[in-house]
Amino acid sequence: MAAALIATSALAGCAVDEESSSEQHSAAQGVTPTLLSRGRYQPFTVESEGLVNFEAKAKTAVDVITRQHDYLPNSHTGWHTHPGPVFITVVSGTLTFYESDDPSCTPVVVTAGNGYVDHGHGHIARNETGAAARDITVILAPPGLPFRGEINPPGNCAF
């Protein structure tokens, strides 16, 4: 979450690019994404010890994308992937995440004020409640390339 806060703060003044899209396989329903920023970072190494013990290294240039997602009740993002890690902070409501490679389709419930880290494999975020929800997402992607890829439902979940 600290990395998400750092990246979000660092990118507040960056220019905004249009999102690249691909063919929709599992279209989002009831989720409105808003691109807040996209900024290019040259290779870097970050090591922090003390109250926050954190380490990150970008061996090549990387784009850091910040998005807000507004979820209507009973909505979802559709099944998708990202080319790199994603830090998702739920800022209001409750979201439930499912992984495409989890044969038991185990829900990961994340409430406001908490975060979820996606490592770039297939997943879906669902608002399974009767109330609206919102997240702020920080995505790491190759420079200038799409930061989301649509995938077919993997078949491990009943929805």
Q: Looking at per-residue confidence, does 14 or 39 come out higher? A: 39
> What ranges make up the beta strands (E) of the chain?
29-41, 44-48, 54-58, 62-76, 80-81, 86-92, 94-99, 108-111, 115-118, 123-127, 133-141, 149-150
**Domain positions in the chain:** 2-150
Give the helix/strand (H/E) hosting 6: helix 2-10
* pLDDT-based confidence at residue 26 (cuts at 50, 70, 90): confident
Per-residue pLDDT reduced to its tens digit, 80-113: 999 999 999 999 999 999 999 999 999 999 999 9
* pLDDT-based confidence at residue 46 (cuts at 50, 70, 90): very high
Whether 126 and 98 have beta carbons less than 8 Å apart is answered as yes
Residue 73: pLDDT over 50: yes
CA 81 remoteness from chain centre: 9
CATH class entry, domain 2-150: mainly beta
